Structure 1
Amino acid sequence: MALISTAIRSVVPHLLTTSNSSIKYFLSDCHHSIGNKIIYTIYAFIKTLLLPLYIFILLMGFQQWKRQRSAAPGRSNNHSDFLTYQMMMVDIIGVLGTVLYCLGTNIKSDSLIMLGTFLLCFVFPGQTLFHVLTSIERYLAVVHAIKYMQLRETVKIRVRNISTAAVWLFCFMWLGLAELYLPRFPTEHLLAYLAICLIVSAFCCLSVLYFLRCPRSGDAKGKQPRSDQSKRRAFNMLLAITVTLALRIFGILLSVGVDHLISVHIEYLCALINSSIMLTLPSNLVLPLLFLHRTGKLSLLREKFRKNIE
């Protein structure tokens, strides 16, 4: 917390005093426009509705951790589930940033706008990288299943924890990079980063698809249907992550790069830039829904919802 407060004190005043920059341009011309207020109010409302879902999944993870700790102290949560829990923490910070930004635009407070922007900028890398790490974990579990199963659980946990810590560290590094490039925006770095994330996720998805269509001859015939079903579930999961990740990346590229590509009236430009943020919503839902589906909670919620309607 001390590190975060120090970063806020150093970054926010710098941003507020920056002039003749792309950040000031968006603050002065877009952040206080009527269209921006309407779009981000809707966006903040939707994100706030998702907050109970994020908290519910974290509570489920905490309860599962307590049960496993009492039953088998040496065991750990499913690695995909662990990444989902990390994603929920990132999304909760993102909800806070969105609400602060929306509040700042409606009361015309540049301090709240920049604090919300700071939080959103902080969680931006994590919201993408945890999707990528989930894709890599599923890819290893399916395509390199034998080697993956032969790894000791302690090794898997160590690699998982190091990867998770690296993602959180990269969130702080991204803030430093953004401040370093002021008054410009590190567009080139952003394009390279998003391209790498999308390529890795697509590679994992296509590799699992190829492995599903071309099973190895060493697979036991008796276990083949069950194995194929597991691979198919992994492919569906990777496909959902890749598609929503592509939508998210497309929305981000529109948000940061459309002003360099076309020349239109500022009101239409702001509307296009702000509307593109809606494309990031599916990526905020894919991991929670996949988690609820794996744990069987989604079908239970569907049953309760159907009974309430009837």
Structure 2
Amino acid sequence: MNSSNHSPVLSAYLELNIAVTTACYAVNLILSLPTNVYVLCLILTGAGGTVASEFFALNLAVSEILYCLSAVFVFVYIHLPIPPLLALITFFSGFMFHGRPLFQCCICFERYLAVVHPVVFLKYRPLRYKVVCSGLVCLVLIGFCFISMFVNEHKIVVCLYLADIVVLFTFMLFCCLSVLKALKQPGPGEGEREREETNNMKMRAFKIILIILVSMMVNYLPWVVVLPFNEIYDLLQLVYITYVCLFFSIVSGFVQPLLYLHRAGKLPFIKGL
């Protein structure tokens, strides 16, 4: 009796899960992929700034494009559920779970240096330093992706993910508060005009870091709440919570491309950044 009653319910949940998951990944693939490819083309062609000045944004766009590949594997896995495909989905999902906050952190740190330590910023502004920094970040990112792919112990993966998010969030918060403090302390010897220009630059940096910080909270807070306690939810609750997490991840993934497109003058209807 139990099997006959619960089996149709279970099948309905699974079908709903497949349908919504497909829709979420399809939306991400259709919208995020062309947006980030457009950002990538603008940076490489110099239409939205030099490669050196937007190098971290370029790396973030590449990371988002690689994450879009997970959608392709999800579509195939739905019809052909074999372990290698699941491993690939886990690997490329790491570009969202770890790559996105890592490169967002690099962007925040660059803005922090430009405002709080301008001399250091000018010293390390050349592209070669950013290439070295991005190379180290990529090594860490690939390491996280492989750990998530090969480590079967759920608690280890969750603890690593939570530690990563907490550290990066704390660092971004430090950058945000430091820029805000610098905004309230005008430099000595500045005239009225220079002070106004400097404050405008500081305010733009503060707004960008704050927006990235908020988008990071929106993106990762649902996962932080769900992952450690997924065993206490029943199937229906877990399905619905996963939908919410995927939705926030997809929405927050457009924040950085939109910020860049606005700075490049491609979104003039957005004011104030």
Task: Compute the TM-score of the two structures, normalised by the length of structure 2.
Answer: 0.84
SS class of match (2:106):
helix
Q: Which residue of 1 aligns with 2:192?
A: 221
Matches within 5 A, 1:79-158: 79=53, 81-105=54-78, 107-110=79-82, 111-122=84-95, 124-149=97-122, 151=123, 153=125, 156-158=126-128
**Residue 291 of structure 1 pairs with residue 265 of structure 2:** no
% identity of equivalent residues: 24
Q: Aligned equivalents of 1:172 and 1:118: distance in 2?
A: 9
Per-residue CA deviation, residues 226-275 of structure 1 (Å, 9 max, x unaligned), is: 11111111111111100001112213313422315xx3422222321342
Residues 1:163 and 2:133 are matched in the alignment: yes
Measured after TM superposition, the shift of residue 118 of structure 1 is 2.4
3-state secondary structure, aligned to 1:99: helix
- Match of residue 244, structure 2, among 275, 281, 304: 275
Give the drift of 1:62.
1.7
Contact kept in structure 1, 2:88 and 2:149, CA below 8 Å: no
CA–CA separation in structure 2 for the residues paired with 1:295 and 1:39 = 34
**Which of 230, 239, 254 does residue 201 from structure 2 map onto?**
230
Instruction: Report the counterpart of residue 212 of structure 1 in structure 2.
Output: 183
Give per-residue Cα distances to partners, 1:135-178, cap 9 Å, x unaligned: 000000011123323x165xx42321111111211122113433
The answer to whether the aligner puts 1:52 opposite 2:23 as a matched pair is no
Tell me whether 1:172 sits opposite 2:142 in the alignment: yes
Secondary structure of 2:221 counterpart: helix
Cross-structure match for 1:183? 153
Aligned partners of 2:90 and 2:145 also within 8 Å: no
Query: Distance between the aligned counterparts of 2:124 and 2:229, measured in 1?
Result: 48
Question: Take 2:180 and 2:159, find their aligned partners in 1: how far apart are those partners?
Answer: 31
CA apart distance, 1:38: 2.6
Tell whether the 8 Å contact from 1:93 to 1:119 is kept in structure 2 after alignment. Answer: yes
Return the offset for 1:117: 2.4
- The one-character-per-residue Cα deviations of 1:97-130 (angstroms, maximum 9, x if unpaired) are 123214422x152343432222213553211100
Measured at CA, do residues 92 and 159 of structure 1 come closer, stay the same or move farther in structure 2, by a change above 3 Å?
same
1:35 is aligned, of 9, 16, 20, to: 16
CA gap 1:112/1:179 in 2 versus in 1, 3 angstroms: closer
Question: Distance in 1 between the 2:145 and 2:51 partners?
Answer: 31
- 2:4 is matched with which residue? none
Question: Residue 259 of structure 2 aligns to which amino acid in structure 1?
Answer: L
Unpaired runs of at least 5, structure 1: 1-28, 69-75, 304-310
How many angstroms apart in 2 are the aligned matches of 1:278 and 1:213? 37
1:20-31 aligned within 5 A: none
Query: Using the alignment, how far apart are the partners of 1:142 and 1:46 within structure 2?
Result: 37
Shift of 1:78: 4.3
What CA deviation, in whole Å up to 9, does each residue of 1:203-244 have, x standing for no partner?
Answer: 111111111123233433331111111111111111110000
3-state SS, counterpart of residue 33 of structure 1: helix
Contact map agreement 1:101 1:117 (CA 8 A) in 2: no
TM-score of the superposed pair, with normalisation by structure 1: 0.74
- Maintained 8 Å contact 2:187/2:195: no
Q: How many residues are treated as equivalent by the alignment? A: 257
Distance 2:258 2:155 in 1: 34
Corresponding residue number in structure 2 for 1:249: 220
Distance in 2 between residues matched to 1:63 and 1:254, nearest whole Å:
41
Shift of 1:45: 2.1
Alpha carbons of 1:126 and 1:43: their partners in 2 closer, same or farther (altered >3 Å)? same
Detail structure 1 runs of 4+ shifted over 6 Å in the superposition: none
